[in-house]
Amino acid sequence: MKKVMLVDDEILIRETIRDSIKWEQEGFIYCGDAPDGEMALTLIEQLRPDIVITDIMMPFMNGLELSAIVRDRNPEVKIIILTGHEDFGYARTALRMGVHDYCLKPIRASDLIQLLRTVSELIDKEREIKASIDKLRQREMEKTEISREKLLNDLCSGFVTTVEAIQLGNALSLDLQARYYVVVISDVRTLEDEQLSSLRVANQVENDLLQRFQQALDRKELLQFKRSRTETCWLIKGETLEQIKNELDIFKEILNINTEQVPAASVSIAMGIGSVQERIMNIHLSFLEAVEDMHWRRLSSQNRVTLWESISGSMEHYVFLDRAWFVNFLKMGSPSQFPSFIEEYASALNGINWTSAPIGYYILNDLTLEVFRSAKDMYRHWDAPEETLQQLQQILTTVRSTDDAIEYLTCLTNQFWSWRSQTNDRYGEMLRSVKEYIHANYNNDAFSLQHAAEHVKVSSSHLSKVFSQETGRTFIEYLTHIRIRKAMELFKTTSFKSFEIAFLVGYNDSHYFSALFKRITGMTTKEFRKNGNIDITLLVMERDDVSEQIVKR
């Protein structure tokens, strides 16, 4: 029911109107009255009426002054002027300021009720329209958010070119341009309710972990999107490395707390951080590295859980080896320093009973996983050697003494140093093969990264990462430039129509081809055919490819 308030300086009129209408029966609430506009303002703020009936001529503040203030403060309130003055000037002023109706005294109760019903219907319609607009606005906001998430996901997956990313970002009011970029990914999983019931209440470490993670989620200034039900990605951008470092602090805090968390906790947060990149097209490279980093950290966490279970939940029975000390030696040490280092380092293993429990295996396995993760950080081109890891873990099962452990650590050290010596020009031949394959198949509209990866027998994610790092452009950008370069040649050397050329260079959608051609060349297909010159950057790229082929021959 709509609330009605009456403002009139004559108490007899106020009481007559109040008592002559059965308000609730007619669908209204008489919420109060006031003798002048000044007193009415205070009551209006308190009572929040939907309809105000006011006289014009009143002391202290007249009805027109009151109406002007109410319309400014509460434009949704409907105002009815009820006055004994027939002056047209008053009526015109009232209607100009948005007063709903202007009535003359005296007025019959039935006429006032009919007027109130008309106003009530108008209020209902306005509220319905507002609700519809709000709903549409909410849907648009949700669509925009979905589109933003899709763009960020595609950007991290390497599915859009730099130009497409910037243009789509501008359309979504998403500023993607910056000097530096880095991607962070997390995977949060909680145990089922029946599992939780068997665990103790989360300890302070777990509370700190959850609090920090929520703080990361609340950082609205960071671009973030849901990659899956459990995975969240952040795209961090900044103009200086110091700014990037500061933005990453909260995520590094989470990683540090994770190493202290009891493995039997009720929530698991795996997190990975990619490398800092300087180009939009390399965002997906940082993303792939973040996924890999998270993978190795999760393996290490799972190893700790198994170790926890093997010692019946008592962490007092052993101490983890100092992983950072070992990894730092691998990075900075030399073979001549190894004997003295390993003797001191392995002394922490002397108290382990290698035959009664698998504690030693999990301690060394934890160190192994940290070495592999560090190798991934150092050698970004290094493909994940799952087979090598499995071989080392197989060797671990044969360790029966501290001497065996020292022999194993020697093997692990040699493996790390061999990776370090094999990082130069590992992918030259593979990339030459991929580029030749692109040149041979660019006209196939179904041609993709997956086809090229199968051709050189590597995973698509690995090829995408290596291709970007080595060539300075993503696979799709390279393929697009090859296709546009060929289209330019066809426009200059043939009379084929635009849709025919689109098909010949691998595009089955001529409209998309035309839009893409203009984005890259700055001209429409007609303008290029008439006045255009082949873009120098495309010529340079083509010349580089030819040079590679000559070198190979």
Nearest C-alpha neighbor of 213 from the set 187, 192, 235: 187
Tokens for 547?
A: 């040079």
Q: Which pLDDT score, from 0 to 100, does residue 385 have?
A: 65
DSSP 3-state helix, strand, coil percentages of the chain (rounded to 5)? 60, 10, 25
DSSP state of 286: H
Handedness of CA 184, 185, 190, 191 (dihedral sign): negative
Q: CB burial class (10 A; 0-12, 13-18, 19+) of residue 55?
A: buried
Instruction: Please say whether the beta carbons of 52 and 64 come within 8 A.
Output: no
Tokens for 494?
A: 């043939």
Neighbouring residues of 332: CB distance < 8 A, sequence distance ≥ 6: none
53: alpha, beta or left? (left if phi > 0; alpha if psi -120 to 50): beta
DSSP state of 277: B
Which phi and psi angles does 206 have, rounded to 5°?
A: -65, -40
Tokens for 283?
A: 């965002």
How many angstroms separate the CA atoms of 548 and 553, rounded?
Answer: 9
Q: Which residues of the chain have pLDDT under 70?
A: 87-88, 140-146, 191-205, 259-265, 303-320, 356-357, 377-385, 420-426, 472, 533-553
* SS3 label, residue 254: helix
Q: Which pLDDT score, from 0 to 100, does residue 421 have?
A: 66
Tens digit of each residue's pLDDT (9 = 90 or more) over 68-120: 898 888 889 998 888 877 766 777 787 777 788 888 888 888 888 898 999 89
How many angstroms separate the CA atoms of 499 and 286, rounded?
Answer: 37
* SS3 label, residue 140: helix
In one-letter notation, the amino acid at residue 21 is: I
Q: Which pLDDT score, from 0 to 100, does residue 37 have?
A: 87
Q: Is the peptide bond before 106 cis (omega within 30 degrees of 0)?
A: yes
Tens digit of each residue's pLDDT (9 = 90 or more) over 246-262: 999 999 888 887 766 55
Neighbouring residues of 309: CB distance < 8 A, sequence distance ≥ 6: 263
Q: Which pLDDT score, from 0 to 100, does residue 504 have?
A: 94
Angle at 94 between CA 89 and CA 95, to 5 degrees: 100
* Whether the predicted model's global pTM rises above the 0.85 cut: no
Instruction: Please say whether the beta carbons of 183 and 244 come within 8 A.
Output: no
Radius of gyration, alpha carbons of the chain:
37
The strand pairing partners of 102, in sequence order, are: 81
Q: Which pLDDT score, from 0 to 100, does residue 548 have?
A: 42
Neighbouring residues of 215: CB distance < 8 A, sequence distance ≥ 6: 250
Q: Which pLDDT score, from 0 to 100, does residue 198 have?
A: 39
How many angstroms separate the CA atoms of 186 and 392, rounded?
Answer: 28
* SS3 label, residue 495: coil
Q: Which pLDDT score, from 0 to 100, does residue 553 have?
A: 33
Tokens 């021959």 label which residue?
A: 553
* SS3 label, residue 187: strand
